[in-house]
Structure 1
Amino acid sequence: MQIRRIAVQQFRNIGGAALELEGRLHFLVGSNGQGKTNLLEAAGFITALRSFRSADVKTLISHGGNEAAIAVDMEHEVEGETQLTIKLKPGAKEAWLEATKVSRLAEVIGRFPTVVFSSQDQQLVRGSPGGRRRWLDLTLSATDGGYFKALQAYHRALTERNALLKQDAPVAQLAAFEQVMAEHGVVLVRARREALAALAHDLTEAYAHIADRAEPAGFGYAADVEVESAEALLEKWAAGRRRDLALRSTANGPHRDDFDFLLHDREAKSFASEGQQRALVLSLRLAQAAWFRAKRQVQPVLLADDVLGELDPVRRDRFWSAVPKEAQVIATGTTAPDESLGRWQVFTVRDGSFGAAE
């Protein structure tokens, strides 16, 4: 997939901008706080109709504005030349493919894959389980409609069970929602385990390339309930009802799952150096891009947000050599890119405005 034009209105500090993208490599250069990341955020929004920085749509709309808009013209391996338009209002999203309004936003999710490389990614290694779960859920939801539906159904039932726990509801009512959670929860656990096993292959290859085969990398999946069966989930919730009633919350289940990054079968968050952790998250994003390409038959657009400056020159060059040669890259930084890495189309960014570099 290639983005050929992106237009943004009233999105964060970008009042209005339209970029015509030529070739494969594009670079946004400017001081911090000028709007480079905001443009990448808008480009990345087309994949899952959500920001990689904020879950609150209101924060994306320019101060004093009522609506933000993103319009992207693309060349797509499956859909040919197409345009996606997204409008954001407080508490609402709307999307159009060409001139046709999308009736169900779920139909758009995953069709236009992008992968964001961000300095925040290191929190995937050493941050909370919630961040890792969110990344995994978004990755699987973008390529598997069944997973997305199971995730939605599980969390709706979980919300209802938690509400009943706060009301000291009878066992029969709790059990009804536990049945729904178990049905969909086992789908989540199985899909997560299978996906991490598949992603580990590409993670290992990418890390070996970036880190020059320094140590074997992989994942360790920590399912909150290890047995992959609806019965096991039901037994866990039944045994924990008294505790959950006291806590007024569901303490166990797939919503508590986690996974670890491993180096030499040891947890990277405890033993890996800063450089190793950076190499791991870059490798994770390359593995995610390979996953999208395999599942959707579409080459994702790679969005690199000022991350390569954190690498030493050797690992930076190894990273670029690991990027698929056919992939479009939109990158940001405070200084212009090294010409040895390829021929870049460069835009200067200042106060939310974008101009072609001289």
Structure 2
Amino acid sequence: MQLTSLSVQHVRRIAAAQISPADQTNLISGPNGSGKTSLLESIHYLATARSFRASRVSEVISHGQTALIVSGELKDSAGVNSRVGVEKTSNTTRLRINGEAVTVASTIARLVPVLTFNTESYSLLNGGPANRRALLDRLLFHVEPEYLRTLKTYYRGLKQRNALLRANTTHKQVVYWDHQLEAVANRLDRWRGACISTLNEYICASALNERIGSLELEYRRGWVAEESFSNLLAANSVKDRDAGTTTVGPHRAELRIKVGGKLAKTVVSRGQGKLIIATIVSAQARFIREYALEPPILLVDDLASELDRSACQAAVDALISTKAQIFFTAIESSDLPASLCESAKVFHVEHGQVHPTVMDQ
């Protein structure tokens, strides 16, 4: 999927802006606080109706305004155009695709796959298991049509089982939900395991992996592999009643990021961590392109910081090789490799104003 035009109103410092991005590589330059990241945030809103850096929309709407509005034209790999619009106030969300109202954000999210690479991405290495499970869930949402429904079914069943555990109801009532959960848990596990296996193939083939040294994703399903899920739930019933919650299952799955057999967060520097994230994001983009049959949009914020010239060039090459449409940001265009600047469409942002720039040859 490619974004061919973008219109932004009242997103942080950006009062109003319109751009027509290039099909593949775009560079947004400007001083700190000028609105570069806000432009990426606007694209993320268009794709998900959510911010990637604020939990409350009131933090994103420009001062003195009551709503933000983002709209854009998109073109898929078959050349079919779609128009998407998002309008958000502190209390309401209005979504449209081709002029028709949409009631759930997942409809837009499925149409516009987007991946972000920014300072928050370090949570993949340093954050809790939920951050890494979310990576899996987002990927599988885009490539497996039944994944979101199955995941919601699992969590509804889990909620029912946990309520029964806390209410100290009969064993028979709990066992009913044990069997209901087993089928959906096994489906989630199969999808997740296959996804990680494919991502590891892409990571192994990445040129960045030579710089990092044996990067690998290790998947742990959330329960003992040799046991059937319902039998394990039954065996854990006393423990679960005491805890008031279900202690095994896909909701406890873990994705461990390892380098040379050790947890990455214990052995890598910030710069190496950035290369790891670039490798994983590149693998995600390839996974979406090959299995959803549409390349995603990549939002890459401040890539150059904490990387030397050689490492930055390697990260850029890996990201561009995905054939995704990419939006990079940098304070100065010269912060990024010359090869990127020469091939990219460049926009300069200052004081919330966005202008296309012609690079010196």
TM-score by length of 2: 0.87
Question: For 1:7 and 1:51, how far apart are their aligned partners in 2?
Answer: 16
Q: What displacement does 1:279 show?
A: 1.3
Question: For 1:111 and 1:128, how far apart are their aligned partners in 2?
Answer: 29
Aligned to 2:116: 116
Query: Once the two structures are superposed, what CA deviation does each residue of 1:38-80 show, in whole Å capped at 9, x if it has no partner?
Result: 2212212444444333455554444565433221112211461
Aligned to 2:198: 198
Question: For 1:36 and 1:233, how far apart are their aligned partners in 2?
Answer: 48
Q: Between the two proteins, what is the percent identity of the paired residues?
A: 25
Question: For 1:174 and 1:55, how far apart are their aligned partners in 2?
Answer: 36
The amino acid that maps onto 1:165 is: L
Structure 2 residue matching 1:142: 3-state secondary structure: helix
Question: For 1:224 and 1:46, how far apart are their aligned partners in 2?
Answer: 34
Native 8 Å contact 1:186 1:228 kept in 2: no
Question: For 1:325 and 1:193, how far apart are their aligned partners in 2?
Answer: 22
Question: For 1:211 and 1:347, how far apart are their aligned partners in 2?
Answer: 31
The amino acid that maps onto 1:329 is: I
Q: What displacement does 1:152 show?
A: 1.1
Aligned to 2:255: 259
Q: Call closer, same or farther: CA 1:272–1:339 in 2, change over 3 Å.
A: closer
Give matches, 1:70-85, under 5 Å.
Answer: 70-78=70-78, 80-85=80-85
Question: For 1:145 and 1:249, how far apart are their aligned partners in 2?
Answer: 29
| Alignment partner of 1:242 is 2:238 | yes
Structure 2 runs not aligned, ≥5 long: none
Aligned to 2:183: 183
Native 8 Å contact 2:8 2:16 kept in 1: yes
Aligned to 1:216: 214
Q: What displacement does 1:137 show?
A: 0.8
The amino acid that maps onto 2:290 is: A
The amino acid that maps onto 1:181 is: L
Query: Once the two structures are superposed, what CA deviation does each residue of 1:131-188 show, in whole Å capped at 9, x if it has no partner?
Result: 1111111111122121111111111222233333343333344334333322211111
Aligned to 1:68: 68
Aligned to 1:304: 300
| Alignment partner of 1:282 is 2:281 | no
Native 8 Å contact 1:46 1:113 kept in 2: no
Q: What displacement does 1:316 show?
A: 1.1
The amino acid that maps onto 1:333 is: A
Structure 2 residue matching 1:195: 3-state secondary structure: helix
Question: For 1:79 and 1:102, how far apart are their aligned partners in 2?
Answer: 22
Q: 1:333 aligns with which of 299, 305, 330?
A: 330
The amino acid that maps onto 2:221 is: A
Native 8 Å contact 2:165 2:245 kept in 1: yes
RMSD (Å), alpha carbons: 2.6
The amino acid that maps onto 2:152 is: Q
Q: Call closer, same or farther: CA 1:315–1:240 in 2, change over 3 Å.
A: same
Native 8 Å contact 1:190 1:228 kept in 2: no
Q: What displacement does 1:211 show?
A: 5.2
Native 8 Å contact 2:209 2:215 kept in 1: no
Question: For 1:104 and 1:228, how far apart are their aligned partners in 2?
Answer: 39
